[in-house]
Structure 1
Amino acid sequence: MPNTLRRAAALLIGAVLAAAVHAADTGPRGHVDAVADAIADHYFDAARGQRIADDLRRDADAGRFDALQDPVALADDLTARLRPLDRHFRVRWSADGDAPIAGAPGPRRPMEPSTSGGIVKVEVLPGNIGYLQLDQFAHFDFDDAQAPARKAIDAALAQLSATDSMIVDVRNNRGGSPHMVGYLVSAFVAASADPYNRFHTRTRTFSEAPAKRYAHPRTDVPLYVLINAKTGSAAESFAYTLKSAGRATVIGQPSAGAANPGGIIDIGDGFSVFVSNGTPINPNTGGNWEATGVAPDVAVAPETALDVALLRARKNG
C-alpha cells in the first residue's frame, strides 16, 4: 500500500476510534463535553465561548461532574455554573429528548402561536389612564396583515388611544419576540426616531426596529412601564429601550438581566442547552442590561408598582 494511502487509512481509523470513544462516553463527562461544544460553536463572542468551553472541559477532566449521574442534577448543576456568565445559559434534560433546535437570534424563548398577542388585560382606569398588561411578547410576521398577535395589539392600542396617560405592565413577563418589542416601542416614539437596539452576532448586525411601525404613535402621552425581577429578555428590552430614549418612567424593581438572545440546541440523550448567539447594543447608552437588569427610575416593591404609577399618572398626567 502506498505511504499516502497508509497515512489516510491511519487517519480514518483514528477518527473512527475517537468518534466511538466520544459516543460511548454518555456519562457526565460526555454530556459536559457536548455542552462545551455547543457553546464553543454558537456563542456570539467566539473567543469567550471558547474560554467557557475550555473551562468546562477542564473541570470535567478533573472529575468535577462525575458524581452527577442523575441527568436532572447534572443539568441543574451546569445551569448554576453557567448562568453567572450569561443569564440566558440554561441546560435542561427531558426524558422525551424533544428539545427544539437553536435558531438565529430572534425570539428570546420558543414562542407558541398566540391569538392574544400576549395581552392579559386592557383597561381604561379611573382618571382616564390606559392600562396594558402583557405576559409575553408574541411573535408575528410583518408581512402577514392578518396575524392574530398583530391584530390583538393593534386593537388594544386603539382601545386606549384616547387616554390621558398610559401604563404598560410587564411584571412577570419573561420575554418573547423582538418583532413585538420593536412594534410596541414604535407606538410611543416618533416615526423618525431610532431608539432601537442593534443585535450583534458572529456574522451580522441587525436592528430591533420594526419592519412596519405602528401607524399612529402617541409620542407625547405620559408613559409608565412596570417591571420586577421576573421581567426578562424581550420584556427588558422594551423597558430599557423606552427608558434609554427618555420616553418612559420605569417603576418597580430591577429586572432579570437577561439581554442576549439565542436558541436551544439539542445535544442528545435528552439534554439541551440555551446558547446566546447575539448581544444587543442600545444606541443611546452604548450598552445593554445583561447581568445588571433594567434599573427602575422609581424603585418600589413590585406589588406596589401599579399603585405608584397610578398616583404619578393622576398627578402628572
Structure 2
Amino acid sequence: MTPLQTAEITGIVTETARLTREQYVFPEVGEALATLLADRLAEGRYQQAADPEALGRLVTEDLQSVNQDRHLRLKFHRVAVPDTEDGAVLAELDREADLSLGGVPLVERLGGGVARLKLAPIIFPLAMGAEPTTAGFNLVARAEALILDLRECVGGHPEAVAHISAYLLDEPTHLTTLYDRQDGEYRQLWSPAHVPGPRFGGAKPLYVLTSKATFSGAEAMAYDLQQQGRAVVVGERSGGGANPRQGFTVHPHLEATIPVSRSINPVSGTNWEGTGITPDIETDPAEALAVAHREALAEVARRGGDTHSAAEARRLLAGGTEAGHDGEPI
C-alpha cells in the first residue's frame, strides 16, 4: 500500500474533524473532538502514521478518548471502498453476507422442543438478509422454546432488527425511538404487523445469548426484547454501543464512522450506550448455551403437561438421552 504523504494526512484528519463537528449526535462532544484532532494534527502526532491503517488507529484512539463511543472511529478497510455515503460498510456487508448464509449460519434442534437460531456476524439489511432470516424463523416457529444466539453478532440494521422482532411478538410493538441530530426529529421503530410465514410468537419461552462481542444492532434486539419482558438474556455483559452510525469515505481505505442518532427505549427511557446490557442470567459466554438450554427445558417441562416435548424435556433434565420416547433410536 502506498505510504501516506503529509498533505494526505492533513486532508484526512481535517475532513474527519469536520464530519465529527457537524454530524456527531452529541454536538458539544463533537466540537471538543474536532478541536482535539486539530490540535493533535498541529502537534505532529499523525505524521508518524506510515500508512492508512496506522493513521486510522491513531485517530480512533483520539476520537474515543472523551466518551469512549466505540462507534466513533476512523476505520481502516484493506479493500478499497467506494466514495459514496455508507459505501464502505455496504461493500463490506455484501462480502460478509455471502460468507455467512445471509447472517443465519446455524439453525438446530437441541432436544426437548428447544431450537437454537444463530445470527452472525451481523443482522443484515433486509435487502441482503430478508430471505435467510425469514427461512430461519419459519423453521423454528414450531419449537416449544427458542434460544437466539447473538454471542458473535456485532451489529445490525434497525429495520431488520424490527422485522426479526416481529417473529418473536404477537402484535406491533414500539421497540425504540431514534433521535436524529441533523433534522432534530424523533422516529419510532415498531415491529411490523405482518411477516412472511408463521411466527414463533410472543408467549413461548425465549432466551437471548450475549457476550462482550455482542454490539450495536445486536444489542438493540437483546435490549428491546429484555425491556419488553419478552426474553431472558443469558451470558456476558454486551459491548455497549447504542448510537447508530453513518459512514463517510475520507480516503480509499479509510471510513469515518460517525454516530448521527441515539436510541431511546420506550420502557427504560434510556439505552445501553457505554454500559452494555446486563444479562438476566450472567455466565461465561462459553457456558451460556448450556445454561439457557437447561432453563428452556425446565420451562417446557413445566408448561407442557403430557406433550412429547415436555416428556423429552423431563428426560433430558433427568440425564436421559435425546433419542426415541424410551431412550432408544427412533
TM-score (norm 1): 0.81
Equivalence for 1:67: 48
Which amino acid is the alignment partner of residue 166 of structure 2? S
Q: 1:221 aligns with which of 167, 179, 204?
A: 204
Q: 2:125 aligns with which of 126, 136, 139?
A: 139
Equivalence for 2:158: 178
- Closer, same or farther: CA 96–250 of 1 in aligned 2, 3 Å: closer
Equivalence for 1:4: none
Equivalence for 1:188: 168
Equivalence for 1:9: none
Query: Are 2:22 and 1:41 aligned?
Result: yes
Equivalence for 2:109: 124
Query: Are 2:25 and 1:57 aligned?
Result: no
- Closer, same or farther: CA 222–94 of 1 in aligned 2, 3 Å: closer
Query: Are 2:176 and 1:197 aligned?
Result: yes
Query: Are 2:290 and 1:290 aligned?
Result: no
| Structure 2 portions without partners, runs of 5+ | 301-330
Query: Are 2:292 and 1:309 aligned?
Result: yes
Percent sequence identity over matched residues? Answer: 26
Q: What RMSD over aligned residues (CA atoms) do the two structures have, in Å? A: 2.6
State the alpha-carbon separation in 1 of the partners of residues 38 and 79 from structure 2: 26
| Number of residue-to-residue matches in the alignment | 285
State the alpha-carbon separation in 2 of the partners of residues 176 and 109 from structure 1: 15
SS of residue in 2 equivalent to 1:26: helix
Equivalence for 1:260: 243
Deviations 1:149-188 (A, max 9, x none): 3232222222222221110001111112222210111222
| Comparing 288-297 and 116-125, the one that deviates more | 116-125
Query: Are 2:77 and 1:98 aligned?
Result: no
Equivalence for 2:139: 159
- Closer, same or farther: CA 119–235 of 1 in aligned 2, 3 Å: same
- Closer, same or farther: CA 97–122 of 1 in aligned 2, 3 Å: closer
Shift of 1:46: 2.7
State the alpha-carbon separation in 1 of the partners of residues 264 and 227 from structure 2: 12
Q: 2:264 aligns with which of 276, 281, 298?
A: 281
Shift of 1:258: 1.4
More helix by share: 2
| Structure 1 portions without partners, runs of 5+ | 1-23, 142-147
Deviations 1:190-242 (A, max 9, x none): 31432x11111121322232455436451111100001111111111100100
Shift of 1:249: 0.6
